[in-house]
Amino acid sequence: MQYAHFGDAITFDTTYRSKLYDMPFGLFVGVNNHYQSVILGGVLMQHETVESFKWVFREFVTLMWGKAPSTILTDIGQCDVMEVAIQEVLPDTTHRWCKVHVLSKENEFLGLICSKKSGFKDDFQKITDSMLTVREFESAWKHLLDKYNLHGNAFLSQIYDSRHKWAKPYFKGKFCAKQTSMQRNECANHMFKGYVPQNRSINMFVRHYNKLQSYLDSKESFEESRSGKRTRVMSKGVPVEEHAAKIYTRAMFEKFDEIIFQCGSYVVDEKERGKAYLARHIRSDCRESLSQVEFEVTIMVEDGAVDCECGLGEHLGMPCCHAVKVMIHLGMLEIPAGNIVKRWTMDATENLPADMIGHENDKAAESSESYRQSELFIRVLEFVKYSSRSDRAFEIGLAGLVELGQELSELNQVKDASVLSEQHSRPAAQGSDVQGMSAAATDDATTAAKKQRYESRGT
């Protein structure tokens, strides 16, 4: 049920590839309330086409009880085909590209410029990493091109045209769980390679995948226990810090403490009493000429939330340093409820989200069926491997299958009448019929099984 609580912002990456089958493995990764990576699912793909990606996203959402993510971050290796698939299958999901991947060819295309034009690299990184608002980004970008005479540079033109897909200022209002790059996926991929060697057969692949999942579950359990038992060290001496210590997990409290530290560089000017304030950087005279030094912060009438024009609050799911500075200025004893996102709190997994409650009654049956199918799939592959090694093994295996088939047939005949009756009484099934998968899905399981059987005969 990780996805029910932490499936709002996810990443999807297909850079891991099985050497034995020469097939990419797509990994869905999220982040939990302890800011740890959680693997939400995986899919072994035979093709990387629009239709294949449409199948992947459609099956993923179906397995997640029909709930689509709010935001999905992908690499740019297959950006064109994934873009089409996501627009069709996940029309309400915000699709963003990994910033690191977009800028990965910076050295290749801008290396000569960096070596010849002193200061260019620092200016370029400030724009891509530090700008918070669209106004800042656009002004700084124009200044960069003018300053270094780079209006005709093809690489800069290309990444500027796609800025809405990767630049932080354009993420305003879109929750991304503090993610603008695939670093979390790359970390998961690194662990994945350590647990799942790329030359393993598919049955061993699934076994090692489950081991990795168990390892991540144990890390989460440890952090859950640690957050519940250990008291927070409060060093800032402001009331909102004390409140944060009570509601956030240990990891997220530490991040909130960093925000309190950052807000020390700002002072507050009143614009409209009780409604609007300006958070102004105390060293505005020393700041970059293109950097915004004042941010308007508004107190929302509806829920008392403190909202800042920088947009980081929505992006992170935590109030930004400008908003926190206003909270402290106004002497607030608690963080307003409108600024608290439950998925970062100690109570993140306490209750099932409202849109998932309707599926809770079916959870046990679905999990049980999924478990049985996964276990049978692994056993069948092992059976094929050993039964095809010799003529004698083949005869024994085939005879055993025939006997087993008869026994299962007799068992099912007893239940056929009741099953048929139950099927007739049920309403027509909604959506596509999908088999359960506990570890990895494949868009062509038959092909993989045939390949396994072929390899077994050769051993």
| pLDDT at 453 > cutoff 50 | no
Higher pLDDT, 436 or 312: 312
**Cβ atoms of 292 and 136 closer than 8 Å:** yes
Checking if the pLDDT of 446 tops 90, the result is no
* pLDDT of 188 higher than 80: no
Least reliable range by pLDDT among 238-247, 367-376, 389-398: 367-376
CATH of 2-98+182-226, one of 3.40.50.150, 3.40.50.2300, 3.30.420.10, 3.90.1150.10: 3.30.420.10
Distance CA 96, CA 166 (A): 6
At residue 38, what are phi and psi to the nearest 5 degrees? -125, 130
Q: Which pLDDT score, from 0 to 100, does residue 430 have?
A: 40
Q: Would you say residue 445 has pLDDT above 50?
A: no
Q: What's at 418, amino acid-wise?
A: S
* Mean of pLDDT over the chain: 81
Longest dimension (CA), the chain: 89
Residues belonging to the chain: 459
Q: What's the rounded mean pLDDT across residues 353-379?
A: 57
What's the token pair of residue 31?
A: 């982040």
- Is the per-residue pLDDT at 299 higher than 90? yes
Q: Mind listing the pLDDT tens digit for each residue in 190-200?
A: 666 666 666 66
Q: What is the pLDDT of residue 434?
A: 36
Q: Are 387 and 397 in contact (CB under 8 A)?
A: yes
pLDDT at position 173 over 60: yes
Report the share of the chain in percent with pLDDT over 70: 77
Higher pLDDT pick, 392 / 459: 392
What CA–CA distance (Å, rounded) separates 33 from 252? 7
Query: Mean pLDDT across the stretch 247-253?
Result: 94
For tokens 């996810």, the residue is 10
Give all strands (DSSP E) within 22-145, no chain letters: 23-31, 37-44, 71-74, 94-97
Tell me the range of 36-40, 50-54, 109-113 where mean pLDDT is highest.
Answer: 50-54
> Would strands 441-442 and 306-308 be described as parallel, antiparallel, or unpaired?
unpaired
The span from the CA of 13 to the CA of 42, in Å, is 10
pLDDT of 253: 94
Return the DSSP state at 68.
Answer: -
